């Protein structure tokens, strides 16, 4: 059976490389369509061009020649082509009789191929693979299924094409779209100033590119898709503008009009990395670390993302009006390349909508401060995030219940140290009693946090301060690791890993079982 080379796995997987002719073809292809194209479409165009080129090459080679089959007879001077030998051609120079006991009588033809004589069987009536008819060869190469070909090998071509185009300065990429520089609409500084003004009168944004474009004085005869691409390219390379739409969409925001907690990471959320030995963590502590799912623990997201995620609100996020962008919440957002993404947060119970932001570099979701205050949601409360069918919209809720008075840890500041007491407070939300902590002295706690940061206090020193203070509230004089993690974050932003490792490492902290710890002051000085 004759199979064109472009239909083989080896051609695309093992042997395929981009040639200058492919790049030239793509350049002309983009000039012809005059608008941006996705990399998949460009890869398909390259494959179609390769197939077409092979078809034309085969037809050129077949013109005026006979396709070799052993059953046929040939005459001296006849031009023969051999598809099974990559379509090499030759001229018959001699014909002689042949015989084989298995096949009987036949002819042997001598064929001159590139100056060398080779012999082939002819007039052979016995069964032979090359005698099988597969239809007209022209029909065979003309009927290649390009959809099937792209489904099988398109990913390989996309990967190689992306690498080549990325290195070529004549091609410009924005997300999935590509264009040649020659088709970019001239977007000058005046256009960018005007775009800034448009966003400013629209409260900073977000606005889609097409809407901004309507205010710019661009040539209406130019291709609109190319204009949108060019404006996106110009805005992307100007620090005044932020692309903030969900993945698959494009919308712009004026950077200076974004909320302060979006432009700059709130200080309480900034984690200054603490080196530690993870080998110190037992499987039980690692399981607890996974349960807490701190955004700075760098845990992997689940293989099957959940449509709804339940979180425990920690002090830094309560203080900043944020939620963590952690292993469980990341899959809820179709995150693109933009560092910041504008989203709509909807209270699932009241249906109230408020503006939110996903800030990838800081690993947090911003915009919940007012909601926390209005609903009087405490630290330690359970918060739920649920994916909405609408892109860029997320449902937020908490475990509401009838208010009742509960015993709560309350922090105060005395002699530049945190102190704790139990007091009864009205709580209207379900919560983790190991994580809940409150304070009536936020400013004083903030001052203590700034002091600890300015003096670069060691984690062990902070733990030695809070563990005995918390333990005295328990008849067994112990404190749970989750409580330690919750409270330490009032003084320093730190994920569970370093906290747990320090508890294990330092002899002053004794493991009493079930994640409860005790402080031995007599061993504090011995490291």
- Which of 354, 371, 401 marks a domain boundary? 401
452 belongs to a structural domain: yes
- What is the pLDDT of the chain when averaged over all its residues? 89
What local confidence, expressed as pLDDT, does residue 360 receive? 92
Q: How confident is the model at residue 434 (pLDDT cuts 50, 70, 90)?
A: very high
How many Å apart are CA 246 and CA 336, to the nearest integer? 7
275 belongs to a structural domain: no
Supply the DSSP string of 203-264, one letter for each residue. TT--EEHHHHHTTS---TTS-HHHHHHHHHHHHHTSTTEEE-PPTT--EEEEGGGS-HHHHS
Per-residue pLDDT at 510 exceeds 70:
yes
How many Å apart are CA 204 and CA 25, to the nearest integer? 42
**Token pair 């900073």 in the structure block, residue:** 204
179 belongs to a structural domain: no
Helix ranges, 419-480 (H): 442-454, 459-471
Per-residue pLDDT at 83 exceeds 80:
no
What local confidence, expressed as pLDDT, does residue 303 receive? 81
Same domain, 41 and 122: yes
What local confidence, expressed as pLDDT, does residue 134 receive? 46
Per-residue pLDDT at 152 exceeds 50:
yes
10 belongs to a structural domain: yes
**What is the average pLDDT across 403-421?**
92
177 belongs to a structural domain: no
User: Tens of pLDDT along 303-343?
Assistant: 888 889 999 999 999 999 999 999 999 888 876 668 899 99
Alpha-carbon dihedral angle through residues 355, 360, 363, 364, given to the nearest 10 degrees: 0
User: For 381, which DSSP code?
Assistant: B
What local confidence, expressed as pLDDT, does residue 135 receive? 41
446 belongs to a structural domain: yes
How many Å apart are CA 173 and CA 189, to the nearest integer? 21
Q: How confident is the model at residue 124 (pLDDT cuts 50, 70, 90)?
A: confident
**What is the average pLDDT across 218-243?**
90
> Which of 103-107, 178-182, 267-271 tops mean pLDDT?
267-271
* β-pair partners for 172: 179
Give pTM, 2 decimals.
0.76
**What is the average pLDDT across 470-486?**
94
Question: What is the percent of the chain where pLDDT is above 70?
Answer: 95
Same domain, 242 and 290: no
How many Å apart are CA 470 and CA 104, to the nearest integer? 101
Per the structure, the complete domain to which residue 491 belongs is given by 404-523
What is the radius of gyration, based on Cα positions, of the chain? 36
Per-residue pLDDT at 255 exceeds 80:
yes
Same domain, 109 and 199: no
């Amino acid at each position: 059976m004759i199979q064109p080379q472009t239909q083989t796995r080896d051609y695309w997987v093992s042997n395929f490389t981009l040639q200058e002719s492919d790049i030239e073809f793509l350049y002309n292809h983009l000039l012809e369509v005059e608008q941006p194209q996705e990399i998949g479409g460009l890869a398909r165009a390259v494959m179609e061009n390769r197939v077409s080129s092979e078809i034309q090459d085969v037809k050129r080679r077949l013109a005026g020649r006979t396709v070799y089959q052993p059953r046929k007879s040939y005459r001296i001077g006849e031009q023969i082509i051999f598809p099974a030998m990559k379509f090499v051609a030759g001229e018959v120079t001699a014909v002689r009789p042949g015989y084989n006991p298995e096949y009987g009588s036949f002819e042997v033809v001598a064929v001159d191929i590139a100056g060398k004589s080779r012999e082939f069987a002819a007039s052979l009536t016995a069964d032979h693979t090359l005698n099988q008819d597969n239809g007209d060869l022209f029909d065979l190469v003309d009927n290649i299924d390009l959809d099937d070909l792209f489904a099988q090998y398109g990913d390989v071509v996309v990967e190689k094409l992306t690498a080549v185009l990325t290195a070529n300065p004549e091609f410009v990429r924005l997300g999935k779209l590509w264009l040649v520089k020659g088709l970019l609409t001239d977007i000058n500084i005046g256009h960018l100033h005007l775009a800034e003004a448009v966003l400013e009168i629209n409260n900073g944004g977000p606005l889609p590119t097409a809407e901004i474009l309507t205010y710019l004085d661009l040539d209406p005869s130019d291709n609109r898709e190319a204009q949108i691409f060019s404006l996106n390219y110009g805005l992307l390379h100007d620090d005044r503008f932020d692309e903030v739409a969900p993945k698959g969409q494009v919308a712009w925001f004026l950077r200076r009009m974004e909320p302060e907690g979006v432009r700059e990471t709130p200080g309480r959320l900034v984690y200054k990395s603490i080196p530690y030995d993870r080998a110190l963590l037992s499987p039980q502590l690692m399981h607890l670390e996974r349960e807490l799912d701190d955004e700075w623990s760098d845990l992997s997201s689940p293989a099957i993302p959940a449509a709804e995620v339940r979180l425990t609100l920690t002090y830094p996020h309560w203080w900043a009006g944020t939620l963590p962008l952690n292993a469980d919440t990341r899959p809820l957002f179709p995150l693109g390349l933009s560092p910041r993404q504008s989203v709509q947060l909807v209270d699932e119970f009241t249906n109230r909508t408020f503006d939110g932001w996903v800030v990838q570099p800081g690993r947090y979701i911003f915009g919940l401060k007012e909601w926390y205050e209005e609903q009087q949601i405490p630290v330690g409360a359970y918060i739920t995030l649920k994916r909405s069918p609408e892109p860029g919209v997320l449902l937020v809720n908490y475990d509401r219940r009838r208010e009742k008075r509960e015993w709560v840890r309350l922090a105060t500041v005395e002699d530049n140290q945190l102190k704790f007491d139990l007091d009864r407070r009205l709580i209207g939300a379900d919560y983790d009693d190991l994580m809940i902590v409150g304070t009536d002295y936020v400013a004083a706690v903030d001052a203590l946090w700034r002091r600890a940061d300015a003096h670069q206090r060691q984690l062990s020193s902070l733990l030695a301060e809070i563990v005995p203070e918390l333990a005295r509230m328990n008849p067994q004089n112990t404190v749970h690791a989750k409580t330690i993690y919750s409270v330490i974050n009032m003084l320093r932003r730190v994920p569970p890993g370093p906290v747990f490792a320090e508890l294990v490492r330092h002899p002053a902290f004794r493991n009493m079982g079930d994640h409860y710890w005790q402080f031995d002051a007599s061993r504090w000085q011995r490291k």
